[in-house]
Each structure stands twice: as structure tokens, then as C-alpha cells.
Chains A and B, each alone.
Chain A
């Protein structure tokens, strides 16, 4: 039987971060990925929020990952009868500072996995982990679909939202359907000059009352969003699997909402549609409300011999639905705890409890999984109060999002923590903003292992 110090299940956004750190600490580390190339099964309309880069792993901040567009502002459009009746553009920062970076999952996850491999981790692709090796309730390794049994001192489960392994091992249950949003995304080719002209460095959201039938009432889903990439745009919308206690016909509704949008909205028909060509349609689910539902929130994310990170642990932001920053934070913490546990020769649950303590001490994870702003939005839409709707969106996707009680608090707390540890961090941030922007302008990023020639 093959043996490693650490096995990481999944090479998505979190797995490689954990694997890289464990390999750098001198431990034999194996990443097992079920797809042929990391990221080709990761579906996300993706603008990775800036707090992931500022406060996440140093090698990302100091590296040259493939990004699709620096996003410097959020434009909120309020629609009635297909026309814009109000706009909130208050959340904006001057270039090269950004609110986040748009990215395709496949190149970005490949970049992360390449970094883990360069640090000495092994990567096995096209391999599905079908089971965990359990000895008296202690996880001692994994079993693959090739029938191999591979042992590990610590298993880090980075298998994403649906990952059935920890359920099979009796550690967790599947998420409650009320926690799960099914979202559909469309990828349209659009010339860079046209994206620059129509959107610039903005991402754009379209907010509606339920009567418009262009999206699930916010609180029960995502408002229709347009993420902007280099030569493409990436609209998406989603709905929870339970609305008012019932499973709605989500499959039909998502298509209906988008058809209504593309047939009735002037902004689409005049400014966007003539310049785009459909290239892809896809969908996935994410556990946005896992942190708000006590049943889901209280499921363990560690056990004897195993730590669970990212979406697999339910660390998805309940307001914004982004999972990448928390995947990075939890991967980094899990690696630290795994390293300490192996050095102490104690991988029991009682030692690994410090993972839970460190997760709770992270200024972002607990705050973002507890954020009720999206959930509460359902009440505004029930009351049909337009003024209140605009006000709430201002506190959500407008500058109000940086109030201390929302993202301002965690950002200040994390900044103080980080500046204390590393007074040079402000210089690193400044350099990151400039380098990321220059990389994008020159369309020059690190070479990927998948690049041809």
C-alpha cells in the first residue's frame, strides 16, 4: 500500500493551497483529482473577491495567476418593465486597485495545482476517491476507483460541495436543500474592445421585483449578474432548491428568467446582444446558506485523521455566494494544523480541534457564513418596497457593504492582524495591485503546465 503523510482530495481552489504548504513543510503529499485537468469540472461565475487576495496565501498575492479582468466597480441596475429606473454605482475603487478579479476556473485551478506540484506535492488526475480507509473511526487513508488503497497520516477533504466521502464515512450529512442554490451560467464571446466599452472594469447586477420574472426573488436566489472577462462575459442567475417550503420547478424557472431578460431588457438588446455570441451554458450548485441553517452549520468539519475545507465544509459566503476566499483561508489553516499534528504524532480529533479554533478566529470565515443580508432580502421583496430594496442593495453591493458591521469589520480586524505579523504587507498589496493590472494589460501570466508548445 502506498503511503503519504498527507492526502488532499480535490485540486480545485482550496486543495492545492493546502497541498503546497504541506509539501513545503517537507511532508510527502498527494493531491487526487477526479477530472483530467484541475478546474475543468469547477463551474462558477467567478469574480474572486479582493479579500481573498489581500488576506489569503502569500504565493497567490505575490504570484502571476491567470486572471480574466480586474474588477474595479459594481454597477447595480434596478429594472421595471425591462427598463432601468435606478442605478447604484457607489462601490468603486480607482485602478489599479480592485474589488476582485474575474477568472475562469480551469486555468486558475491549474495554476494553483502547478504551484503545489512545484513545491513537491504529487498530483494524480483522472482518479476518483471512492472511499476513506477507516480504522476504529479514525481515517487512515483513501481508496480510489482504481482499487488502490493509499494511506495517509492526515486526509484533507477539499472535494467541493457535493463531496459524498465525508457523508459515507458518517462525519457529515448532505446539505439541507434550503442551503443549496442551483445556478445557471452562460458564457458569451465578446470582443475585448466591446467589453471595455460596454462594461469597462465593472461587473453589473440587475435587480428586479418578482413580477418581472427575471430572477428568483433575492433571498431565494441570485439576482442576474454579469461578470466581465477579457474577451467574454459571463451572466448567471440562481435559485434555491426550496422556496416557501416547496421545491419549485427550478430547471424551468431559470430558463424562463433568462429568456425574459434577453427578450425584454433594453440594456441587453441594445448594448450587449448585438456584440456577443453564445459559447457555453452550464450549471452547478453551491451551499450558500449552509452557515445560516443550524442543522448544516453544526456539522463537523474535522474528525480523527481528517480535516474538511472550503465548500465541502460549507464555508460559502451567505451574502455573496463566493467560496474561493474561504477555501483559501481554510486550506491554509488546515495545512498548518496537519503539519503540527504530524509533527506531534497525534492526528486524533482532540488534536485536530485546533482547526476548529483557528477557523473561528479567522475574521472572514465566520462573518461571511453568518451574513444574513441576502436571506433578509426576501422580506423586502415580499413587501414590494422599492425604496427599501434600493437601500438594501446599497448596503449589499454598494458602498454600504463596507460598513463596520458588514465587511468593514472583518477587513479592519484582518488588516490589524496581518500588519502586526508582517509590517511589509502594505507594500506587498500595492505591488500586487500594480502587477496584476500590468499582467492583465499585457495578457502575460505564468506559463501553465497545460499550455501547448
Chain B
């Protein structure tokens, strides 16, 4: 299945990525850095901890992973052939 979003023209997402970004709630301090750098609105804070809200618009940039000073975000690549793709990069 391929998904598109009206507010994200020119990009589509192939489903089946798996959980390629994982937040370690033990390490997370709820500082919100991941929210500040995420253009895809992937994160939300619940009970003072960051959680993945949805990875459906994630462009796999890793800004959240770089900005996490607590090393609480685990970033890997989605499964082959899944995730975002574009003709206009």
C-alpha cells in the first residue's frame, strides 16, 4: 500500500517500514528536542515522556535521533523498499 497526504505534496510512503525509530522511555527525560526538530509531527509527550505518535509522514532524516542528548532514540533504516519516496529530491 502506498500513502499520500495533501499537506505533503510530491512524496509518497510505502507501508511496511516496521518500527525503525524507537524511544527508550527509561532514558527519555521529556525535554522535547525531538518534537522541536520533527517536521513530520511524529512525536508527542505523554506523562513527561516522548512517544512515537505516528511515523506515517517520517522522511527518515534522523533529526530527532541527532538532537536527543539522552541517547533515548534508536534510529535504523526502514525495511527495504518501504518508507518515503519522491521524484523531486
Which residues on A are within 8 Å of B, measured CB to CB? 34-37, 39-44, 104-106, 125-130, 144-146, 161-162, 164, 174-177, 180, 182, 184-185, 187, 232, 234, 241, 247-252, 254, 278-285
**Identity of the chain A residue whose Cβ is nearest the Cβ of B63 in the assembled complex:** A182
What is the CA–CA distance of A281 and B6 in the complex, to the nearest angstrom?
Answer: 11
Interchain nearest-CB distance for B27 vs A (Å): 15
B residues near A232, Cβ cutoff 8 Å: 88
B residues near A285, Cβ cutoff 8 Å: 61-63, 66
**Identity of the chain A residue whose Cβ is nearest the Cβ of B71 in the assembled complex:** A174
Residue with the greatest number of chain A CB neighbours at <10 A, chosen from B9, B33, B66, B81: B66
Q: Is the CB of A39 within 8 A of B63?
A: no
Q: Is the CB of B85 within 8 A of A281?
A: no
Interchain nearest-CB distance for A282 vs B (Å): 6
Is B37 interfacial (CB-CB < 8 Å)? Answer: yes
Main secondary structure of the interface of B (DSSP, over half): loop
Given A162-B65, A164-B75, A251-B36, also A280-B84 (CB < 8 A): no
Q: Is the CB of A280 within 8 A of B88?
A: yes
What is the CA–CA distance of A280 and B14 in the complex, to the nearest angstrom?
Answer: 17
Which residues on B are within 8 Å of A, measured CB to CB? 8-11, 14, 33, 35-39, 59-63, 65-67, 75-81, 83-89
Q: Is the CB of B87 within 8 A of A40?
A: yes
Given A126-B80, A145-B79, also A282-B59 (CB < 8 A): yes
What are 17 pairs between A and B in contact, CB < 8 Å?
Answer: A34-B81, A36-B14, A36-B81, A41-B84, A42-B89, A43-B86, A128-B77, A128-B78, A182-B61, A234-B88, A247-B37, A254-B39, A279-B10, A280-B88, A281-B8, A281-B10, A284-B61
Given A40-B86, A241-B66, also A251-B59 (CB < 8 A): no
Q: Is the CB of B85 within 8 A of A41?
A: yes
What is the CA–CA distance of A283 and B89 in the complex, to the nearest angstrom?
Answer: 9
Q: Is the CB of B88 within 8 A of A248?
A: no
What is the CA–CA distance of A36 and B80 in the complex, to the nearest angstrom?
Answer: 8
What is the CA–CA distance of A184 and B37 in the complex, to the nearest angstrom?
Answer: 12
What is the CA–CA distance of A127 and B61 in the complex, to the nearest angstrom?
Answer: 18
A residues near B84, Cβ cutoff 8 Å: 41, 282
What is the CA–CA distance of A113 and B80 in the complex, to the nearest angstrom?
Answer: 17
Interchain nearest-CB distance for B22 vs A (Å): 12
Q: Lowest 3 CB-CB distances: which A-B pairs, in order?
A: A280-B10, A126-B81, A162-B62
B residues near A241, Cβ cutoff 8 Å: 37, 63, 66-67
B residues near A35, Cβ cutoff 8 Å: 81, 85
Interchain nearest-CB distance for A291 vs B (Å): 16
Q: Is the CB of A180 within 8 A of B66?
A: yes
Given A41-B83, A41-B89, A106-B89, also A284-B59 (CB < 8 A): yes
Q: Is the CB of B8 within 8 A of A34?
A: no
Q: Is the CB of A174 within 8 A of B66?
A: yes
Q: Is the CB of B79 within 8 A of A128?
A: yes
Q: Is the CB of A130 within 8 A of B76?
A: yes
A residues near B61, Cβ cutoff 8 Å: 43, 162, 182, 283-285
Q: Is the CB of A247 within 8 A of B83?
A: no
Q: Is the CB of A281 within 8 A of B80?
A: no
A residues near B8, Cβ cutoff 8 Å: 281
B residues near A279, Cβ cutoff 8 Å: 9-10, 88
